[in-house]
Amino acid sequence: MLSKKLEEALNNQIRIEAESSQVYLSMASWAEVKGLEGVAGFMYGHSDEERMHMLKLVKYVNERGGHAIVSDLKAPETEFGTLPKMLQRLYDHEVFVSQSINELVHVTLEEKDYATHNFLQWYVAEQLEEEALARTVLDKINLIGDDKGGLYLFDRDIQQLIVESAASDTAGE
């Protein structure tokens, strides 16, 4: 059985994961209308992944005797200026989510809920990967600078990241 404090903290994380999905959906739409099909596909995939993270939490809360709450979501930005600025926002958002997961893990220790602590270790590992991926993508786009040919290749190459990421996701199941 979840403590009320932990249930509230998990419900807050459910909202954060749902908002993350919306943020990445907005980024995908922005990239798509800019003609960046590879980036758009990457962001659509990220949006789906965040929704799955949310659903995993919803099911966990409900299975542990709590009540997962579907709450209002803050509307995401719809304009990002440039691709490097958008990818910086992606990285910053992943850092924010990592901090939130870490705070949640801290609550599990305070509440001595070791089952939830163990459950959240998947999220801790996932966030390490998410931050590393966002940092890699940001570093690559910053290396390119204003080179249009480089941007074209980046947009094409990011599609390969999607394929590799999907392959590694299914390998772990």
Q: Where are the domains of the chain?
A: 4-171
Q: What is the pLDDT of residue 77?
A: 95
- From residue 151, how far is each of 9, 131, 133, 162 by CA, in Å? 40, 22, 18, 17
CA distance 86 to 46: 14
Tell me yes or no: is domain 4-171 CATH 1.20.1260.10: yes
91, 21 in Cβ contact below 8 A?
no
94 in a known ligand binding site: yes
Q: What is the pLDDT of residue 147?
A: 86
Alpha-carbon Rg for the chain, nearest whole angstrom, is 17
53 in a known ligand binding site: yes
83, 151 in Cβ contact below 8 A?
yes
50 in a known ligand binding site: yes
Q: What is the pLDDT of residue 152?
A: 87
Average pLDDT of adjacent 10-residue blocks, the chain of 173 residues: 96 98 98 96 95 98 97 95 96 97 98 98 96 93 89 86 55 48
17 in a known ligand binding site: yes
Sign of the dihedral through C-alpha 118, 19, 56, 63: positive
